[in-house]
Structure 1
Amino acid sequence: MRLVRASPVVQTRAVGGPADQPDYLNMVIEVETVLEPLALLRHCQAVEQLHHRVREVRWGPRTLDVDIVAYADMALDTAELTLPHPRAAERAFVLQPWAWMDPQATLGGARVSDLAARAADRGGLALFEPTERRT
């Protein structure tokens, strides 16, 4: 796997799930890989496990959540993985960083930047500005 590009990090309010969750940090990356979609999903889940991901409450607080939003132009619908991600076109916390990373990106035939402008959670998104630097 090779990192092609990465978006800025955004801070967002939680979308869905239990009330009173803390804000989340989100970003989008583009990678090149020889892994097929289900193998890539297993790899993403292994990365989550390395960061102590626990799946207790759907859309609940978590240490890390790695989703496959799109895999080229592939459409896939299995019990394990749906591509493109079924809610990506509605979520500013995915769409806006993606649009900043790749202004020409499309999802389902629509420009990602146009989808981001219409997303209901757009108001809860801001560029992340860390208050302290780690050394």
Structure 2
Amino acid sequence: MKNVYLALGSNIEPREEYIKKALQALNAHQQIAIIKKSSVYKTAPVGYTDQANFLNMVIEVETSLLPLDLLEVCQSIEKQLGRRREIRFGPRTIDLDILIYNQENRKTERLTLPHPRMYERAFVLIPLDEIAPGLVIPAENGKHAADYIERLPESDIKGVRRWTEKGSAEE
């Protein structure tokens, strides 16, 4: 079994439902087992900013799937949940990104591991650090998520707040 970290995000209502359904679909797959889940965080959009805030989280899974097969499963779940790729970084029902796959480094036309933009995204690094604070990020000279969080602008970090089940962000 391979150890993998996935990021989940949604900013089209009902956001919580899309995240729950994605988690259920991943957990229902015979070759995927969810090991840990971060808290859910409310975050401002990045890139294309004329859209609603996101709910984001990171999960740790074990899988026997190869990286491209796991990518296919993630994209299939996105499609099942109505994901449309019309605007780069635009609104989405669900986004499933492979962050780290078994400490591998790989770059193909379809998949780069570890995820190439994870180092600059507080909404990925904060939940990743929550569930795997000692995780060494591959190809990064022994650095952890916390090392990258320290380098982010304070405004990025403040823009990532825990989401409660009651539907509000903790201050």
Fold shared per TM-score above 0.5: yes
Equivalent residue number for residue 3 of structure 2: none
Aligned residue among 150, 157, 163 for 1:117: 150
2 CA distance for matches of 1:122 and 1:21? 19
Structure having the higher strand fraction is 2
Q: Does 1:4 align with 2:39?
A: no
Q: Does 1:106 align with 2:136?
A: yes
Indicate the larger mover: 97-106 or 59-68. Answer: 97-106
2 CA distance for matches of 1:7 and 1:117? 19
Equivalent residue number for residue 69 of structure 2: 39
| Corresponding residue SS for 1:21 | coil
Equivalent residue number for residue 89 of structure 2: 59
2 CA distance for matches of 1:42 and 1:10? 26
Deviation at 1:11, TM superposition (A): 0.5
Aligned-residue CA RMSD (Å) = 1.2
Structure 2 segments unaligned to the other structure (5+ residues): 1-31
The AA in structure 1 aligned to 2:152 is A
| Corresponding residue SS for 1:42 | helix
1 CA distance for matches of 2:59 and 2:39? 9
| Corresponding residue SS for 1:22 | coil
Equivalent residue number for residue 47 of structure 2: 16
> Any idea what the Cα deviations from partners look like across 1:31-90, whole Å, max 9, x if unmatched?
000000000000000110111000001000110000000101101100100000000011
1 CA distance for matches of 2:112 and 2:152? 20
2 CA distance for matches of 1:68 and 1:79? 15
Deviation at 1:110, TM superposition (A): 0.8
Q: Percent identity?
A: 44
Q: How many residues align?
A: 131
1 CA distance for matches of 2:99 and 2:43? 18
| Corresponding residue SS for 2:88 | coil
2 CA distance for matches of 1:31 and 1:129? 23
Structure 1 stretches of 4+ with a deviation exceeding 4 A read: none
Q: TM (normalized to structure 1)?
A: 0.92
Indicate the larger mover: 107-116 or 73-82. Answer: 107-116
